[in-house]
């Protein structure tokens, strides 16, 4: 891990979906990957807001989008977007055929009305 950034480019993601949502049978809007330990959690628009919960419980400040085609980082410590950063261990996103919101089969029909804004 690079101590000045809190990024460990060698650690793989914890899975292809939000770890807590998967464990509870929940769903997510978009996914974020912890740049320190690889934990994959759901974004703040998602019902569970597990990426932010992970930051609060661990202090790991940086997450990278885990959506296909997105490479930006969010810094919880400064509340700033970083347009880019070091590459992380593959894969860089959830599978392209996994829908957002996802996962398939667990997203309620009224999902848009339950998003946090």
DSSP 19-84: HHHHHHT--BSSEEEETTT--EEE-TTSSS-HHHHHHHHH---EEEE-STT---EEETTTTEEES-
> What is the per-residue pLDDT across 36-85, written as a single tens digit (0 to 9) for each?
999 999 999 999 999 999 999 999 999 999 999 999 999 999 999 999 88
Class of domain 1-86: alpha beta
CB 59 within 8 A of CB 76: no
Q: Give domain limits for the chain.
A: 1-86
CB 34 within 8 A of CB 60: yes
Token duo for residue 73: 């980082």
- The model carries a pTM of 0.94
Residue corresponding to tokens 């460990």: 8
1 pLDDT tier (thresholds 50, 70, 90): very low
């Amino acid at each position: 891990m690079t101590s000045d950034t809190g990024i460990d480019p060698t650690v793989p993601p914890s899975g292809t979906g939000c770890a807590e949502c998967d464990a509870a049978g929940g769903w997510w809007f978009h996914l974020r990957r912890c740049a320190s330990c690889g934990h994959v959690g759901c974004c703040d628009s998602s019902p569970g807001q597990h990426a932010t919960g992970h930051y609060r419980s661990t202090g790991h400040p940086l997450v990278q989008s885990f959506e296909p085609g997105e490479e930006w980082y969010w810094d919880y410590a400064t509340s700033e977007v970083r347009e880019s950063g070091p590459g992380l261990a593959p894969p860089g996103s959830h599978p392209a055929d996994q829908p957002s919101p996802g996962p398939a089969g667990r997203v309620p029909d009224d999902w848009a009305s339950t998003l946090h804004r």
